[in-house]
Amino acid sequence: MKKRGKGIACMVYPVGGTSYANPGSAFVKVNQDGTAVVLTGATDVGQGSTTVLAQIAAEELGIDYRAVTMICSDTERTPYDYGSVASRVTYIVGNAVKSAAGQAKRVLLEAAAEVLGVGHEGLETSDGWVRVKGFPERKMRVSEAAKRAIGVNGRPPTGSASFNPVTTLLDPETGHGKPYGSYVFATQVAEVEVDTETGEVRVLRIAAAHDCGKAINPMLAEGQVEGGICMGLGFALMEEMVLEQGRVKNDQFIDYMLPTVLDVPEIKVTIVEEREPTGPFGAKGIGEPSLLPTAPAILNAIYDAAGVRIRELPATPSKILAALKVGLARKDEG
């Protein structure tokens, strides 16, 4: 018999490394034609951090995204970064990039101010133009401002900045302290179908709602959640290294089960954008939290569907069948 059920799971997760300093840094320079180069130690592991950092630089400088060149993760040629870990790059390196771009922009605005006849604080940039606030027709190109800054004022527009979240160490006795600068929250609901004859579980749907602060690139944020759910599904139902006397017996994908496209359910992602005042344009992070609620939501759905509580991952068909048998035996006794 096939039985369906729903399960829910919530979570809280921090942005950034625990307690100890985990800074990121960036250098920014603007060329005479209004294009820019960002140098940072931040490393794109496929999650899209280079894209997000380029968007942050472009927004702050007021230039096109495609006008930004990213030079990343070279310990000799880019400034320090702690690493692409702890869901920290958007928040921490994003802040460093925004500050460095802000410094370069200040040089541009000061050059433009001389031409536009207002103080630099009366100017703003977007779409490659410097404009007088409230008088958008009074404008000059970012490229003209850059040429003037370099060629007339002798001040090339550059910036250099770092960011480190405000944290404290934990008291060794009580564990008390402020280990993180910011937190994100999420909930996922899973709907499953349990075959009570075979113990097999099919995940039908997952609805995921994640607060990641302002989503710098919603497509990438959704991609993180979808990927995390696939990983969480594997953790819940199939992945397990089997060791015998310390030797990994299933060291191939033929006998180490990963979810495939056939296992991935319909996924509905909702991004809840609670702006973080200390984040770049209100952004926080999303990389790791994406997978946290998936396994418990699936396990709770299995319980809802079939009445069995599996407490050891992964919830394989044999564990589910064994639990169903115990349940039936209890009913017979009753």
Partner 1 sequence: MTGFTVVGKRLPRYDGLLQVTGKATYGVDVSRPGMLHAKILRSPWPHAKVLRVDASAASRMPGVEAVVTAADVPRNRFGFTHLDQPVLADDKVRYRGDAMAAVAASTPDQAEEALQAIAVDYEPLPAVFDPLEAMKPEAPKLYGDSNVATRVTIQLGDLEAGWKEADEILEETFRTQMVEHCHLEPHAALAEVDERGVVTVYSSVQRPFLIASDLSSVLQVPMNRVRVVATAIGGGFGGKNELTMEPVACLLAMKTRKPVKVVYTREEEFQATTVRHPYILTYRSGLKKDGTIVARQVNIISDAGAYVSWGGWTLSKAAIHAAGPYNIPNIKIEGVLVYSNNSVGGAMRGFGVPQVAFAYECHTDTLAAAVGLDPVEFRLKNLLRDGGTMPTGQVLDRVTVIDTMRAAINAVDWKEVAGRP
CB of 155 to partner 1, least distance (A): 25
Does residue 134 touch partner 1 according to CB under 8 A? no
Class of residue 69 by CB neighbours under 10 A (exposed 0-12, middle 13-18, buried 19+): middle
- Kindly state whether residue 261 participates in binding partner 1, applying the rule CB under 8 A: no
For partner 1, the binding residue among 15, 34, 36, 62 (CB under 8 A) is 62
- The reply to whether 324 sits near partner 1 by the rule CB under 8 A is no
Beta bridge partners of 159: 28
Residues, the chain: 334
Smallest separation, CB 161 to partner 1 (Å) = 17
> Contact with partner 1 (CB under 8 A): which of 117, 134, 173, 333?
173
What distance in Å separates the CA atoms of residue 316 and residue 236, rounded to the nearest whole number?
9
For 107, phi and psi rounded to 5 degrees? -65, -40
Tell me whether residue 311 is exposed, middle or buried, using C-beta atoms within 10 angstroms of its C-beta: 0 to 12, 13 to 18, 19 or more.
Answer: exposed
Is residue 82 a contact point for partner 1 (CB under 8 A)? yes
Strand partners, 141: 129
Contacts of 232 (CB under 8 A, 6+ apart): 290, 291, 292, 293, 294, 295, 298
**Only segment of 101-109, 158-166, 291-299, 321-329 that touches partner 1 (CB under 8 A):** 291-299
Of the candidate residues 80, 138, 153, 158, the single one contacting partner 1 (CB under 8 A): 80
Count of residues touching partner 1 (by CB under 8 A): 121
Cβ neighbours of 268 (radius 10 Å): 13
| 137 belongs to the binding site for partner 1 (CB under 8 A) | no
Is residue 35 part of the contact set for partner 1 (CB under 8 A)? Answer: no
According to CB under 8 A, which one of 56, 92, 142, 286 is a site residue for partner 1? 56
173 is annotated as an active-site residue: no
- Catalytic residue, candidates 144, 222, 276, 288: 288
CB of 134 to partner 1, least distance (A): 14
Nearest approach, Cβ of 152 to partner 1 (angstroms)?
Answer: 28
Q: How far is the CB of 132 from partner 1 (least distance, A)?
A: 16
Q: Could you give the CA distance from residue 117 to residue 143 in angstroms, rounded to a whole number?
A: 18
d(C-alpha 44, C-alpha 90), whole Å: 11
How many Cα atoms occupy the beta-carbon half-sphere of 304 within 13 Å?
Answer: 17
Site for partner 1 in 192-251 (CB under 8 A): 193, 205, 207-211, 214-220, 228, 231-232, 234-236, 239-241, 243, 245-248, 250-251
Which residues carry out catalysis? 288
